[in-house]
Amino acid sequence: MLRLAKGLMLTSVIFTGLTGAAFAATCEITGGKIQAAMTTNPSTMDPILTTTNASRQIDTHLFESLVTLDENYKIIPQLATSWTKSDDGLTYTFTLRDGVKFHNGAMMTADDVVASVQRFLQFSPGANRFKKVASVEAVDPKTVKITVSEDFPLLTNLSMPSPIIAIMPADIVKKYGKDEIRGADVVGTGPYKLIDWQPDVGVKMQKFADYVPEAGFDGPTGFGGARTACADEVDFLPVTEESSRVAGLQTGDFDFVEALPITSVPDLQNNPDVKVAIVKPTWGIALEIDHKDPWMAKLPFRQALLAAINPEQVLMAATFGQKDYYRVQPSIFFPEQTNWYSDAGSEVYNHPDPDKVKKLLAEAGYNGEPITYLTNQNYGWMYKASQALAAQWQAAGINVQLSLMDWPSQIQRAQHQTDWALNQTGWSPRFDPFQLTDSLGCGSLGAFGYCNDKMQAQLDIINSGATDEQRKAAWQAIQKLVWDDVAVLRIGDYFQPDGIRKTLAGYTPFYVTPRFWNVSQTRK
Amino acid sequence: MLTLILRRLLLFVPMWIGVSILSFVIVHATPGDPAAAFVGMDASAGSLEVARERLGLDLPYWQQLLNWLGGTLTGNLGDSFFLGRSVWQAIVERLPVTFSLGFLSLLIAVIVGIPLGTAAALAPNSWKDTVSIGVSLTFLSVPEFVVGMILIYVFGVELRWLPIGRYEPLSAGFLPWFYHLLLPALALGLSQSALIARMTRVALLQVLRADYIRTARAKGLPERVVIGKHAFRNAIITIVTVIGLSVALLLSGAFITEALFQLPGVGNLGVSSVLRRDYPVIQGLLLIASSFILVVNLLVDILYAMLNPSVSGR
């Protein structure tokens, strides 16, 4: 017996919930060109080979997946219209949308889906999430069956936008295999198609004339819904110099500018042609801890570090004291992510207490030994946060030494060396708790030696086929353990300002990913 | 003259091998992992291995070095990790941008620098001299990117006279090309003009004190001929050396200026490649930049020989 799965129920929720969407359902004007100035250059146009922001920002315009996420981070259908899950939780059957065309004119069939998903499972950096997938098969041209060896949150995993499980034509996918798909073979089903990519110069995308917006929605939502390409062309231009991005926004060379320096915001707010958008959430400021370090291995020492932190001061340092750009907040998931937000265990957060620090340090037997703290200047807010934190710890009698590196070197040292104790980082918003397995699970590279049986047991529930309620309860327990055990240090939220010319109509910020579908270029 | 050129050309071979090895060692000694930069922060350890294998980073160091050395000796610099093309192609595509910028900046530097230096030298300790020294000191001490930002602010954002960057190829027409390059070329050229002005002034002053100049003046030659024919001809050796040096400095200045003005030139390629650890491109650029400087030096030597016949015998 098959029962109707979440998917169909969810779609009905979407239909009713969509009326309040901030997005324009139709275009104010069609035609024109949108120029977006981005901070980095994408490393590849092959959507499955990378997890970087720069690639996701482009790929959401070019590619689509079986399922995706809506404005509230809930799963919605995209290239699949519906799906069923067998009672034993081991077989998913997806019905594909009719009449979907690839950018090269071919019609999408189940074979394309099977080939694309199989290539992803073999070669993508995101493949390890799908270890429990046993097989992907085409039942008929409109039906795909995915079998799993053990129940796990398959749909959630399929909906991740980074790396997106892009559906591409089977012949192209088979031709390239593990090699990087390039040039004219970068073909998807999205509202825009790739015209040209010149590294360090820009990505040119053109409206895909044969795109059929999904009929089940009355407007766009999140990464999906009924999307319409209003502008004829969208260009993503890497402009690494922030002062050049600001100048280009002022002159109108750019319609959209990613990551404005906060210091330029007051000036831009007085500019009648420009709007400053605050992207919420953008980054969670966090510190990873090397639990193999002799001091960090001691719980009282980690608790002492926590008791010495005044988060608001740190966040003010990171944002030049601009209140709109930070939030004192303890949860790993952001308050906007109502599904997973939790303040469990946060009584210890934001309670600086010098006496407690002294007591805990004595308990740990600490006598001013140096504690190495890795940071970088590539992200100005990380660097300023580290300076403030280091100052707070030094004032509390903890001999923290900042070690300044560039970002790639910092990542490499953190992952491959053990000569450090604290690692400054920023966490992009996670979509689902399973993504935290990499940071909290025993033996994970990104957990840096952290292993707690209680934590692992809850993570196992998160990664199982448990119900939403069970997974929610497990996540609450994990969030509480993160504080009780000081597994990582969550400091607070940093919001990024983006700049938009007012002539760009219908733009709404979402998840560090500018969306230029249903956005009109009204400038003549 | 021919032996001079041949001797210099022979020097190329050991230099090429030396720089190849050196650039490989420097690049690989830098911490950071290109595979990690490629797949992104959120990638798993297993996928990093796959990426390393695809990029050829799983081979032992000595084998990577031998592959690279073997390649360079046959003119093959390998493929970029990130650009989907060979290193040669990536660099050649960007040369027109850097050459355009270099040419215009050099032109500006010479057009501004030599008259400024000459004016100062002809009237030492006058107001002209003070202004000339003042202007050149300012441009010498303010870094190119600051000059660039000021130019962007004044001419791009406030006055809106000039575009603040991006490159239009010469094939799109001379005016668009010139228009888009003017601000970056000014940023780069003005600081070089300062150097040229100062050297011109010093060189001319020295020559003007010489006996033969006094003789030339004594025999009643017009000042135009004294300066133009007698003095300048002898001062020009120093000035040409400085212009040659300027070319090398322009190349390093292009790294920052190109990034500031979003010009997709070789300098910009260098900066981006270092940041994302694109080993083959960094190595290729180091190799080509060193060869370029050697060629420029050779050209300067040949120019010397042509301007001053006594050099060619040395």
- Chain A residue with CA closest to B45: the answer is A445
- Chain A residue with CA closest to B152: the answer is A247
Beta bridge mates, A161: A164
Q: Does the residue B308 lie in any domain? A: no
CB contact under 8 A, B40 and A51: yes
Pair (B48, B149) in one structural domain: no
User: What are residue A134's phi and psi, to 5 degrees?
Assistant: -90, -40
| Share above pLDDT 70 across residues of chain A, in percent, rounded to a whole number | 95
Residue B82 has pLDDT above 90, yes or no: no
Task: List the structure tokens of B143.
Answer: 């870094």
- Nearest by CB to residue A43, choosing from B47, B157, B276, is B276
Specify the amino acid at residue A126.
G
User: What are residue A225's phi and psi, to 5 degrees?
Assistant: 80, -165
Say yes or no: B156 contacts chain A, CB-CB below 8 A: yes
pLDDT digits (tens, 9 = 90+) for A113-148: 999 999 999 988 888 889 899 999 999 999 999 999
- What is the per-residue pLDDT for A9? 38
* CA dist A168 → A61, A78, A162, B274 (Å): 14, 14, 16, 32
Q: How many CB atoms lie within 10 A of CB B5?
A: 13
- What is the per-residue pLDDT for A21? 44
Q: Does the residue B13 lie in any domain? A: yes
Pair (B131, B233) in one structural domain: yes
CB contact under 8 A, A244 and B84: no
Q: How many domains does chain B have?
A: 2
- Please state whether beta strands A326-327 and A274-289 pair in parallel, antiparallel, or not at all (unpaired): unpaired
Rg of chain A over CA atoms, in angstroms? 24
- The single residue listed with the structure tokens 């199982």 is A464
Task: List the structure tokens of B244.
Answer: 């040659």
CB contact under 8 A, B31 and A247: no
Pair (B168, B248) in one structural domain: yes
pLDDT digits (tens, 9 = 90+) for B219-267: 888 888 888 888 888 888 888 888 887 877 777 778 888 888 888 888 8
How far is A212 from chain B, CA to nearest CA, in Å? 31
Q: What is the CATH number of the domain that holds B155?
A: 1.10.3720.10
3-class secondary-structure state, position A508: coil
How far is A378 from chain B, CA to nearest CA, in Å? 10
Specify the amino acid at residue A351.
H
**Which of chain A's residues have a Cβ under 8 Å away from the Cβ of B42?**
51, 125, 162, 428, 435, 438
- Chain B residue with CA closest to A438: the answer is B44
Pair (B146, B214) in one structural domain: yes
pLDDT digits (tens, 9 = 90+) for B103-154: 999 999 999 999 989 888 888 888 888 988 888 888 888 888 899 889 988 9
**Which of chain A's residues have a Cβ under 8 Å away from the Cβ of B44?**
125-128, 438, 445
Question: Sign of dihedral through CA atoms B31, B36, B41, B46?
Answer: negative
Pair (B115, B63) in one structural domain: no
Say yes or no: A49 contacts chain B, CB-CB below 8 A: yes
* CA dist A27 → A78, A190, A223, A231, B146 (Å): 21, 17, 17, 9, 42
- What is the per-residue pLDDT for B41? 64
N-to-C CA span, chain A: 59
Q: How many CB pairs under 8 A join A and B?
A: 135
CB contact under 8 A, A241 and B259: yes
- Last-in-domain residue among B57, B77, B92: B92
Q: How far apart are CA A61 and CA A186, in angstroms?
A: 12
Residues contacting B261, CB < 8 A, separation 6+:
A244, B148, B152, B164, B165, B166, B183, B184, B187
Band (B46; pLDDT cuts 50, 70, 90): low
Q: List B residues 23-62 in contact with A (Cβ-Cβ < 8 A).
A: 30-33, 36-48, 50-51, 54
Alpha helices in A279-350 (DSSP H): 299-307, 311-318
Q: How far apart are CA A184 and CA A175, in angstroms?
A: 13
Kind plus residue range of the DSSP H or E element containing B196: helix B174-208
Across chain A, mean pLDDT equals 90
The model carries a pTM of 0.84
Q: Does the residue B102 lie in any domain? A: yes
Question: What is the ipTM, given to two decimal places?
Answer: 0.75
Pair (B16, B78) in one structural domain: yes
Residue span of the structural domain in which B32 resides:
2-92
Q: How far apart are CA A119 and CA A113, in angstroms?
A: 10
- What is the per-residue pLDDT for A473? 96
| CB contact burial A310-319 (16+ within 10 A = b; e otherwise) | ebbbbbbbbb
pLDDT digits (tens, 9 = 90+) for A280-295: 888 999 999 999 999 9
